Amino acid sequence: MARIIETVIKHRKVTMFAIFLVFIFGAYSYYIMPKQETPDISVTVAMITTVYPGAPAEDVERLVTRKIEDKVVEVTGFKTVNSTSQDNLSVVILELETGTDVDKAWNELRQKMDELQNELPDECGEINVNTDLYQTAGIIISLSGENHSYYELAEYAERLKNRLIDIDGITRIDILGEQENEVCVEIDTEKLNALPLSLEDVANIIQAQLPEIPMGTLEDNRSRINVKPRVSFSSANDIENIVILTSSEDRSVVRLKDIADVYYKLQDSSYKVKTNGENAVLLAGYFKNDRNILIIGREIQKRIEAFKEEIPDDLHLTKVLYQPDDVRASVNEFIKNLIEGIVFVLAVVFAGMGFRNAVLVSTSIPLSVLITFIAMKVLNIHIHQISIAALIIALGMFVDNAIVVSDAIQVRIDNGEEKLKACVEGVKEVAIPVLMSTLTTVGAFLPLLMLAGMAGEFIRSVPQIVIISLSASYVSAVFISPVMAYIFFKPSKDRKKKHIWRTFFANLLKGALKRKKLTLFLALMLTVLAIWVAGIIGLQFFPKADTNILLIDIHRDTAGDINKTEQLSDLVAGIITREPEVTGYTVAIGDGLPKLYYSMPPSMRSADYAQMVFTVDLGKGGRFKTNDEFASYLQNVLDSEITDGTATVKLFEQGEPIGAPVRIRVLGQDYENMAGVSNEIKNILKSIDGTFNIRDDYSAKVYNYSIDINSDEVLRNGLTNYEIQKELNIAIMGREAGNMRPKSGQNQYTAGKQIPVKVISDIKNIEDLKNFAIKSPVTGNKIFLKQVAEIGLEAKVSKIEKYNRVPAITVYSDVEKGYSSVEIQKQIEKELENAALGDIKVVFDGERESIIKYFGNIGALGMMAVFVIYLLLLIEFGNFSQPFIIMFTIPLSAVGSVIGLYLFRQPLSFTSFLGIVSLFGIVVNNAIVLVDCINVLRASGRNIEDACVDAVMRRFRPIMLTTITTLVGLVPLILSGSNLFTPMSVSLASGLAVSTLLTLNIIPVVYAAVERRSRGKTS
């Protein structure tokens, strides 16, 4: 070690050049490193959707969903399965256990679905397996305008897509909300009844006129020429003139227009988009992984600005989501916090040390940061809010090693040693203690790398960055600091000045040593107080995201009519736009919007569902301080004004999304009894303070027309059940009868595209249906439906929800700020203790369960960290008692953290608990310095009490200086107001501050008590 350090000093020009290279490569790594708002999280969830046209929910559940559920439970790593069966559609959500090989599992899932396809009804569409549920869009652009048709909007969207698609870093761009045209052939059933034709006959006649069948080529010795038919049906007028019947007597003809209206219309859409009240089309762009999206964003913005110059003024281009801007703002904010932290730390160092010492110590900060950037680039750790926050957390600890090294060198220079020898021997003297100090801190963070699940992945860069940066600071302190000391250090002036606080703590310790039992009793009482406070400050899993985007999920009570859902979404839009804080909105009707935040849960396509995203500026209204307050206010307004559905205001979540904090599943087989228990739980929730937006996913029965076919009568008339159902299917749902290809130069809304031709009847009510005549393919005669079937109303379930293959109704409740979901669930459990549930099972599956799961995991990893730290201390001190004395600082730090969280009104959240565990390796360092000094003084002949007091006097300055630098480094995070990191930084800062103050008194008292007891036993 000494020889290496001497070489580094003698060849300091090489060392300085190496520092220059670190600056260059560090800055370059930061520039090209991928930057994003949040870390990437691998997802173990898949959605399986299957369309079963015309089938009621009960048939979908029995014939499709149940079969899929039975297959997915066989997939390797299966954890849970949720399903929704509704009219025409089956949706199954599969979740795998954490740690499963997802690629292998998804391949297995797709293989099983391929095998299952043949077992489903023939009418079912292809089973669709989506394993990219959490792929987040990088940009979402809305194109809207009152004076532009959907076709025009889609054309502009296509032009913009072509402009952007070749940008390096973009993987794909989807166009959403495009409304396609069709030629509708609406048959007058009263006229059709008079003709010897069925709806199927008409559809077949049209289809026979529209094909374009390849005819091959003609060739001779000189040429080869393709033969193709000329398109003769290229407009609605051509279609309506198709001859559908010819008289055998007078050769007169019946054309399609004689019995039908033929016209262009938008296809019956199951998905619409509106932006600020105008019909809209969306472009959703996705970025490549491991790319700097700020660089991609600059090129996108340049091309968008050029595109704006070419479009009409009344065509509005709106950025619904633009991640490059969001990431730039987020990263800049955290970089600003990092710079502020550096300035604060430097100010403390310059105030607490001499100028020359401060210059040396200060170099460790940029060097450590830049080395960390280089390591992040090599290890593929991206820059985002978590990794930068980890740098800020480690910031104050960067200088600790440099302070110890510079002090050791300065003391030797002051004692008259030659400068080179002082630098070499000073580093050699403290290299191992500094290494052990670094390792104890690393040892506390190391187990956190093993935290499983989405939450573990979300915060993984915290232990990674802290471990990397502290290792970098050690390298800087041991190899760079002696070079800087050799260049700058000189013998210092007399530094033996008594400090008022140093004297205060020494006198306080003298009193504590005289009253050891009382001191230890007070420490115990302080710990008990902290445990009591921890019970009242409230638990929280993860806080909501700090973003200006909010979400509203809209559900209409009656299913099946997308137009009515659109009307409900318009009502919601009218309500929210009255609020001055709302700056704009986009709503998707019939399905959810593209995923615009990493924790946004997948939505399910349904005609009774809409999803709205809106932006807010709380400064405009001046009424609300946080999004929570505004969301709670807006929810109350919506609840009071909406009667035919629900509109649920949601804030995006951080970490692992859990949805509503209170979530209770009611499981059973009897929906009536389950609905009763669900209502009882909702009534209990309404009676509990702090709950709001109470709801469930139960769908009441809806009335359907039921057709009871008389099979005997059907057969007597030369028909079958199949033929009747097929004809009714065309009459009510319609049937495509081929595609028409308009010629260029025709209708601007249809030119150049294949337009489907759809045959449908004009049946509008039950009387029309009863009087619909069906043709027998055997006799050629027609018979009215009412002659062979009874038609009546029947109540049917419109949606069937299941959890792990058991029918389920889920009750949800949000929780007002200041209230605990854990306490609310305890009250519900107490109320349900005496309830007569019968076969009904109630399962709690909300925030409390996530807290229990992850806090328990962190606690276990914390215990592992304690053992790692104890092992390191055992190696350093060589006995069992003194590591035990040092470990006494850990509960002292927890006391400080809990008190700090209470005083700052912060919850005991996942991140704050993480901060408490992270403190384990930080707080022991002060005790190591103190105990080591006591041992040295005792070895020189001092008694225990005098050695303890003198050690506090001697080590007061380095202990306080390293503590204060760490604390001020956390100040920007505390003042940032971040929902995610304020609790963590408060728990770190308050725990370290209280632990340090108590360490200067409690640790010497414990040392004296333990050592006297050990010496007594030895005697």
Cα separation, 118 vs 829, in Å, equals: 46
Q: Does domain 195-257+700-763+772-796 have CATH number 3.30.2090.10?
A: yes
pLDDT of residue 748: 47
Global pTM reads: 0.79
- pLDDT tens digits for 541-595? 888 888 889 999 998 877 667 888 899 999 999 999 999 999 999 999 988 899 8
Residues 6+ away with beta carbon under 8 Å from 1013: none
pLDDT in tens, 723-736: 888 889 889 888 88
CA distances in angstroms from 628 to 210, 507, 959, listed in the order given: 58, 49, 41
Give the range among 333-347, 837-851, 874-888 with minimum mean pLDDT. 333-347
Asked whether 574 and 634 are in contact (CB, 8 A), the reply is: no
pLDDT reading at 1010 higher than 90:
no
Residue 497's pLDDT is 52
Quick check: 1018 pLDDT over 50?
Answer: no
Could you read off the pLDDT of 183-224 as tens digits, one per residue?
A: 899 999 999 998 999 999 999 998 888 877 777 888 877 778
Q: How confident is the model at residue 671 (pLDDT cuts 50, 70, 90)?
A: confident
Q: What is the CATH number assigned to the segment(s) 1-31+353-491?
A: 1.20.1640.10
pLDDT number for residue 1015: 58
Q: What is the DSSP string of 938-958?
A: HHTT--HHHHHHHHHHHHHHH
Q: Do strands 181-187 and 260-266 pair parallel, antiparallel, or not at all (unpaired)?
A: antiparallel
Percentage of the chain beyond pLDDT 70 is: 96
Q: Choose the weakest-confidence range: 64-68, 209-213, 316-320.
A: 209-213
Q: What are phi and psi of 907, to 5 degrees?
A: -80, 160
Q: What is the 3-state secondary structure (H, E, C) of 78-139?
A: EEEEEEEEECCEEEEEEEECCCCCHHHHHHHHHHHHHHHHCCCCCCCCCCEEECCCCCCCCE
Query: Rounded to whole angstroms, how far apart are CA atoms 317 and 304?
Result: 9
Identify residue 156 by its one-letter amino acid code: Y
pLDDT bracket for residue 499 (50, 70, 90): low
Q: Check residue 276 and give its pLDDT.
A: 92
pLDDT exceeds 70 at position 747 = no
DSSP bridge partners of 214: none
Beta-carbon contacts of 162 under 8 Å, excluding residues fewer than 6 positions away, are: none
Q: For 593, which DSSP code? A: P
pLDDT at 72 over 80: yes
- How many Cβ atoms from other residues are within 10 Å of residue 99's Cβ? 10
- Segment 714-726, tens digit of pLDDT: 888 888 888 888 8
Q: Which amino acid is at 605?
A: R
Using 50, 70 and 90 to split pLDDT, how confident is the model at 958?
A: confident
| Residue at 113: amino acid letter | M
Identical fold at 1-31+353-491 and 41-132?
A: no
pLDDT digits (tens, 9 = 90+) for 124-166: 889 999 888 777 888 999 999 888 888 889 889 999 999 999 9
Is pLDDT of 1019 > 60? no
Cα separation, 458 vs 866, in Å, equals 23
> What whole-number distance in Å separates Cα of residue 576 and Cα of residue 583?
10
How do the residues of the chain divide into helix, strand and coil, expressed in percent and rounded to 5? 55, 20, 30
The CATH fold assigned to 544-651 is Alpha-Beta Plaits (3.30.70)
* pLDDT tens-place string over residues 756-768: 899 999 998 889 8
Residue 402 is classified by DSSP as H
Residues 974/967, Cβ–Cβ less than 8 Å:
no
- The dihedral through the CA atoms of 499, 505, 508, 513 has a sign that is negative
Neighbours of 687 (CB within 10 A): 10
User: What average pLDDT is seen over the chain?
Assistant: 85
The answer to whether 462 and 390 have CB atoms below 8 angstroms apart is yes
Q: Which CATH class is domain 41-132?
A: alpha beta
Q: Of 332, 410, 448, 479, whose CA–CA distance to 10 is shortest?
A: 479
Closest to 907 measured CA to CA, from 550, 588, 533 = 533
Which residue, 964, 961, 846, 859, is CA-closest to 908? 859
Q: What is the pLDDT of residue 306?
A: 92
Which is nearest to 690 in space by CA: 542, 534, 822, 778?
Answer: 822
**Residue 833 and residue 827: Cα distance in Å, rounded?**
10
Better-predicted residue by pLDDT, 269 or 660:
660
Using CA atoms in the order 639, 645, 649, 652, what is the torsion angle rounded to 10 degrees? 160
Give per-residue pLDDT as tens, 767-808.
Answer: 988 999 999 888 888 999 898 888 888 777 778 999 999 999
Give Cβ neighbours of residue 437 (< 8 Å, ≥ 6 apart).
Answer: 400, 401, 404, 925, 928, 929
Mean pLDDT, residues 248-266? 85
At 666 the pLDDT is 92
269: which 2 tokens?
């859409």
* pLDDT band per the 50, 70, 90 thresholds, residue 962: confident
CB atoms closer than 10 angstroms to residue 989 = 26
Q: Do 681 and 777 touch, CB atoms closer than 8 A?
A: no
Q: Between 501 and 632, name the one with better pLDDT.
A: 632
Rounded average pLDDT over 634-645? 89
Judge: domain 498-535+878-1018, CATH 1.20.1640.10: yes
Q: What is the pLDDT at residue 752?
A: 55
Binned at pLDDT 50, 70 and 90, residue 629 comes out as: confident
**Average pLDDT score over residue span 813-819:** 83
pLDDT digits (tens, 9 = 90+) for 356-372: 777 777 788 888 889 99
Q: Are 113 and 245 in contact (CB under 8 A)?
A: no
Segments making up each domain of the chain, as ranges: 1-31+353-491, 41-132, 195-257+700-763+772-796, 498-535+878-1018, 544-651
